[in-house]
Amino acid sequence: MPELPEVETTVRDLKKKVLSRTFIDVWADSKKNIKKPGKFEVFKKEIKGRKINEVGRRGKNILIFLSGDKTLLIHQKLTGHLLLGKWRLKDGSWMPLLKGPLEEPVNKFIHLVFWLSGDLMLALSDLRKFAKIELWDSKELECSEVFRKLGPDPLNKDFTFKKFEEALKNKRGKIKKVLMDQNVIAGIGNIYSDEILWEAKIHPLKEVSRLSKQELKKIYLAMKKILQKAIILKGDSMSDYRLLTGEKGDYQEVQKVYQREGKGCPWCGGTIKRVKINGRSAHYCPQCQKL
């Protein structure tokens, strides 16, 4: 699933390409991805003719702010990613007009297409069809449960160590699980929780209540460092995530522990282990990250 760095990369790239463009039309095959409004024809009527004023992010949610006080919310979920380009529909499949990364298999599961002014198309490729598309009244979205439950964004300038401490105060459970809780901190998932905890040299199974202030500080600093580095490298494309161009990000090339079970720890040479936490895998070095 795209996490904060992947979503932030997509948002930054969208800002460079789609601001001031207008939605001309929209196509969807199963309509499964469109959650609000429930009927596709209503969604289509509401979005056509609206201008893109700004693009932003809340946690893992992409927000496209439109004219007429509307906001298009896109959550890419497990296998979804946005693409920009030009396609034609042939025998039930969307084919890119230009040769290149958009032709790669991972980019061919297109279930939603927007036509934008200026002869450009925005598409959603989503193998599992779990991605969520919602069109909101902007004021309603700000007050919605979607945002009300979200924790603070770890890259906000005002997210100080003190606020990080407060976010984790009285939280129960393993630190890996708590870091991935979107109600505690928004945007961190399986990949970056592993990488952050390795960087901080904290065992993923350690109870939050047993973490010292010094250990919390290490996690906080590692979180800032790892997320910023991943954004610079344009995200992790070990799985389905791709850039708007269809190309891969590069963070998977520098991963230290995530999906590296049985390989050597880059720090001490120990063997990386994998353990299950509530059905999710945690990767760590038992020598560097002692429980």
Strand partners, 121: 85, 115
Residues 35, 51, 224, 280: which is the catalytic one? Answer: 280
- Please confirm, yes or no, whether 96 is among the known catalytic residues: no
How far apart CA 246 and CA 33 sit, in angstroms, is 20
CA 18 to chain CA centroid, nearest Å: 19
Amino acid making up residue 149? K
* Region class of 30: left (phi > 0), else alpha (psi between -120 and 50), else beta: alpha
- Please confirm, yes or no, whether 145 is among the known catalytic residues: no
Residues 57, 60, 201, 234: which is the catalytic one? Answer: 60
- Please confirm, yes or no, whether 60 is among the known catalytic residues: yes
How do 52-58 and 110-116 pair as beta strands? unpaired
Residues 2, 96, 154, 204: which is the catalytic one? Answer: 2
Query: Which residue, among 290, 281, 192, has the nearest Cα to 236 in the 3D structure?
Result: 192
- Please confirm, yes or no, whether 41 is among the known catalytic residues: no
Catalytically annotated residues: 2-3, 60, 280
